[in-house]
Amino acid sequence: MKSRLVPLILTVSVIFSLSACSSKQPDGNNTAPAGDKADSAVDKKIERKFDFTRENYPKVDGSTATIPLSEDMAAELLKMNRDEVKKFIKHNTTHNAYVNLLDGRVNIIFVTEPSEEELKMARDKGVELEVIPVVKDAFVFLVNTKNPVDSLSVKQIQDIYQGKIKNWKEAGGEDKKIIAYQRPKNSGSQTIMENMVMKGLKIADAPTEIKPGGMGELIEKVAGFDNSDRALGYSVYYYASSMYTRDAIKLIGVDGVKPDKNTIMSSQYPFTSAYYAVLRKTEPAGSSARALLEWLLSDEGQKLAEKSGYIPLR
């Protein structure tokens, strides 16, 4: 049975969780089974009840990996060409998007889950957040194609990033030191690594040179020539497979399951995650931000997301 990622109303006093499952969509509306005629009728109503214009379109921000999603939505709803939409939509990376939302500079962001620091920022500002999954994704591990290792267990990954496993021969590879790349604190992928993979286990401290500032930089390190066959890194599936692909990189399996659209859609891949729409709970009902979210969750919105290369919720 396919698991469903669920809308989460996230108060600043509650620990964020990816494990809850429900058949409800935001605002408490039950979701009809896929293909249900009533569901299609509701979607058509949602699609037409807000007339988006350049003037009333919500202020959007988000992660690097959700730029294509934001651009394609604006292009579709505002009938913009590619050059126009690239000037209209600006994402400032995950952490900065959270900051902008909490400070009221934007209305809705498309991001990975909030970090503990971002939750504390929300608490300190007295802001409640609504965190709602809009498309599926996965957290993936990558190595150079010269590395013979094709899969690692969850325990092996945890041990590598705790500094307990330091040589590839301990994980089925060659007798070479592991260079385990990380991302900076509060980056979207680092937050997922801490919450979903390590689950409270302390990640070993790493020198700055193996904490690339951008996701693309990390992929370049693993794809590069010097010591690249020793490297291990992580990213999100959409970015590594669609936005920043490199022939010298391969995505490895976890517990023998390789990430692809089928294993992610079915949640067979262990580290299935999501991209989320995040709004302030005080965002008014009927606002353009809420209308955009409703449209993205409709059949038409999910089809656009899939056409853009993302994995729909259903």
Same domain for 150 and 96: no
What b/e string do you get for 153-170 counting C-beta neighbours within 10 Å, with b at 16 or more? eeebbbbbbeeebeebee
Judge whether 229 lies within some domain: yes
Q: What is the CATH number of the domain that holds 86?
A: 3.40.190.10
Does residue 146 form part of some domain?
yes
User: Nearest-5° angle of CA 8, CA 12, CA 14?
Assistant: 65
Same domain, 132 and 278: yes
Domain count, the chain: 2
> What residues contact residue 175 under an 8 Å CB cut-off, 6+ apart?
167, 168, 169
Residues 6 or more apart whose CB falls under 8 angstroms from that of 202 comprise 162
Do 196 and 287 sit in the same domain of this protein?
A: no
CA distances, 225 to each of 55, 173, 220, 222, 246 (Å):
49, 18, 9, 8, 13
Residue 199: partners with Cβ closer than 8 Å, 6 or more residues away: none
> At 158, is the secondary structure helix, strand, or coil?
helix
Tens of pLDDT along 209-243?
Answer: 677 777 777 888 787 757 688 999 999 999 999 87
Residue 148, domain member (yes or no)? yes
Q: Considering the domain boundaries, does residue 2 fall inside one?
A: no
- Within-domain flag for 151: yes
Show the domain range for 232.
137-265
E strands, 20-159, where? 60-62, 108-111, 129-144, 151-152
Indicate if 142 and 242 belong to the same structural domain: yes
**Closest CA relative to residue 211, chosen from 195, 227, 187:** 187
CA angle 68, 71, 74 (to 5 degrees): 150
Q: Is residue 289 located within the same domain as residue 261?
A: no
Q: Are 57 and 102 found together in one domain?
A: yes
Residue 3 belongs to a domain: no
Asked whether residue 312 is domain-assigned, the answer is no
CA separation for the pair 271, 154 (Å, rounded): 9
Which residues of the chain fall short of a pLDDT of 50? Answer: 1-47
Q: Are residues 120 and 235 in the same domain?
A: no
CA distance 275 to 180: 25
Q: Find the distance separating the first CA and the last CA of the chain, reported in whole Å.
A: 12
Regarding whether 155 and 123 lie in a shared domain, the answer is no
pTM of the model: 0.78
Q: Write down how long the chain is.
A: 314
169 and 198 share one domain: yes
d(CA 181, CA 54): 41
Q: Are 193 and 116 in contact (CB under 8 A)?
A: no
The residue type found at 50 is F
Residues 153, 62 within the same domain: no
Residues 259 and 289 occupy one common structural domain: no
Is 1 inside any structural domain?
Answer: no
Residue for token pair 């262990």:
270
DSSP state of 311: B
Are residues 159 and 200 both part of a single domain? yes
Output the DSSP codes for 61-75: EE-GGGHHHHHHHHH
